[in-house]
Amino acid sequence: MNAVIVNFRRGLHRQNTTQAVIKVDGAKTEEVLKKTVTWKSPSGKEIKGIITAKHGNKDCVRAKFERGLPGQAIGTKVIIS
């Protein structure tokens, strides 16, 4: 299942780069909770995370990654398995 990283989870004064907001294509948010997310960098490294919660009303979810995502990850695709 494919998805796109929309943004980092953020507040008014700071952003949390270990948590990302992800837009899921063609699936309900309840179906993808507790699944694994993988982002591949252009150099081939993989950063894995877990979908933790629903985010908002437009089929977005929050994912917590094992280490911080770089800024170039915003707008790129991730794989949900």
For position 25, what pLDDT does the model report?
87
pLDDT value of position 59: 86
The pTM for the full model equals 0.89
DSSP codes, the chain: -EEEEEEEEE-SS-EEEEEEEEEESSS-HHHHTT-EEEEE-TTS-EEEEEEEEEETTTTEEEEEESSPPPGGGTT-EEEE-
Q: Across all residues in the chain, what is the average pLDDT? A: 93
pLDDT recorded at residue 53 = 95
- What is the rounded average pLDDT of the residues 76-81? 95
The pLDDT tens digits of the residues spanning 21-40 come to 999 988 888 899 999 999 99
Distance CA 11, CA 31 (A): 27
The fold adopted by the segment(s) 2-80 is Thrombin, subunit H (2.40.10)
Q: Please state, in angstroms and rounded to a whole number, the distance separating the CA atoms of residues 54 and 58.
A: 9
Sequence spans of domains, the chain: 2-80
Residue pLDDT, tens place only, 36-68: 999 999 999 999 999 999 998 888 999 999 888
